[in-house]
Amino acid sequence: MYLSKLKRKGTISTPSKGLYELGSRALFSPNVSNSLIKIYNKIKREFLYINFCVWESRWLNDFMRHQPFKYYTVVEVEKDASEPVFGFLNETTNNVFLNPSEEIFTRYIENLDGVIIVKSLISEAPLAESQKIVIPALEKLLVDMLTDRNLFSAQQNETEYIVKTAIEKYAINEKKMKRYALRRNRENEVKELINISLAK
């Protein structure tokens, strides 16, 4: 009961099960651009009942040593609605791609600015809310970085550093992260990265 009281007051935090540390870490709260808010509201008005989230790949820049020159706007939407949402955005916006392959990334996306990528949202993915829009939780972004290597190509050489920096800077729910990693077949890789980060 005393530990729970200290956690509520922010005196201690729990970076992993059975481990406590002094102080509390901030919640992940990325800078949500006006353009991202507009895209979210545009989709929300047209598709009232679908589950989706939006984000920008530059949100991971704060955790990186080397800064990528390009970034993507990403719309993740439940699988059955991905085609309609893609068609809807494609009517009024340039450079919209649906679940692009490695070849599409290499031949087209890498040479374009202002790209919007529509992709299928994994069920039970950890989501959050910021400025009244639904975004991926940091745990989700870190796991996806290890899986979607085309989308996160700029981060592939810094995965260990990114996870370590994210854990140091923000409150990470390891249980949530590992559960999602299991859904994406990255459980062992995530466990190893977390252990390396906590050991340093």
Tell me: the pLDDT tens digits for 147-167?
998 889 889 999 999 999 998
pLDDT score, position 17: 58
pLDDT, tens digit (0-9, with 9 covering 90-100), for 77-108: 999 999 999 999 999 999 999 999 999 998 99
DSSP character at residue 26: B
- Domain membership of residue 12 (yes or no) is no
pLDDT score, position 22: 61
- Domain membership of residue 10 (yes or no) is no
Please choose, from the candidates 38, 43, 103, 33, the residue with its C-alpha nearest in 3D space to the C-alpha of residue 71.
33
pLDDT score, position 27: 83
Stated pTM of the model: 0.85
pLDDT score, position 10: 53
- Domain membership of residue 106 (yes or no) is yes
- Domain membership of residue 129 (yes or no) is yes
- Domain membership of residue 72 (yes or no) is yes
pLDDT, tens digit (0-9, with 9 covering 90-100), for 21-77: 665 578 898 999 999 999 999 999 999 999 999 999 999 999 999 888 889 999 999
Number of domains in the chain: 1
Report yes or no: 71 and 58 within 8 Å, Cβ to Cβ.
yes
- Domain membership of residue 17 (yes or no) is no
Q: DSSP for 143-184?
A: HHHHH-TTTTGGGGGGHHHHHHHHHHHB---HHHHHHHHHHT
- Domain membership of residue 163 (yes or no) is yes
Q: Give 129 or 171, the one with higher predicted confidence.
A: 129
The range of the structural domain enclosing residue 69 comes to 31-199
